[in-house]
A and B are shown apart, each in its own frame.
Chain A
Amino acid sequence: MSWLVVSALLFAIGAYGVLSRRTAILVFLSIELMLNAANLALIAFARQWGSLEAQVVTLFVIAIAAAEVAVGLGLIVAIFRRRETTGVDELRGLRG
């Protein structure tokens, strides 16, 4: 029960980071924080329910987060090459 509250607080802190940060890399770091809050909730549920399925889902979340980070950081590097910035406020055009 108490770890569920901690995971809710961590998720809200990550959401604050996504909303308030100006650099795309730090927005990504905050997204990782939110994914980990979801993982913590899953593990707490697995403990309280006594079922291992939630732990398996946590492994899948970790793997998908790794794939997301690879693609996202590739995008950030490609955008930086073209625009010399990664500020999410200044990247407003989709034309590239």
Chain B
Amino acid sequence: MRILLIDDERPTLDMMQLFLEAYGYEILTAENGEEGVAMYQRERPEVVITDIKMPGMDGIEVLTRIKALDPVTEVVVVTGHGDMDLAIQALNLNAADFINKPVQKDALEAALRRAQERISRHLGAENRVSMEDRGPVTVLEIQGNITSRSETVLQDAYNSLIASEKQRVVLKLQETATINGAGIALLTQLLMEGARKGMKAGITGISDNFRRVFEVVGVTRFATLYEGEEEAVEALSRL
């Protein structure tokens, strides 16, 4: 897999290149946005990792340009620590993922793994939802990325949940799934409606990054985040 690294910091580029090459990735580097976009057009790498704050063309614009060139490209943005607004802005622009600076090995590994899996499975916009009864709790497994296009599928699932009159639900997201701004808005809206009707919800299977995003946008007010499915079922059963 070829990865294009865009960062205005040469040391960061060098270190990241060494690090990722150790994983066996083929690495391209660019020191600014313009150069990055040009190199993307030339080389068409599968994954782009770009810093958000850069002089000249910044990460957001790089993201926009690349998504315009090819919406399927996995673009991971690197944000400053706690820069949630920019992260959410990037997610709204269909960034695949975001990682915080200083870059943690695990976060980078996970982001790349998810990206690779998505690429290998070609999980585009399609969502598949399966429901499973676990006693008083319904487990709703959602595959694929959650975007604005997931609205119909999610709404259907939600309607059937309401119909089943079960008041406890666990949303089980796939580990490789990403969720963009529109997806977050959709999810928030459905969970809010459910909460108003007395539904208790739990969410599992989200990465640490998205955990932060969910906290910031307020999803956690309507649903509790759990580490694993079993834990979630158990906790909700007890309510």
Say whether A and B bind each other: no
User: Which residues of B are at the interface with A, using a C-beta cutoff of 8 A?
Assistant: none
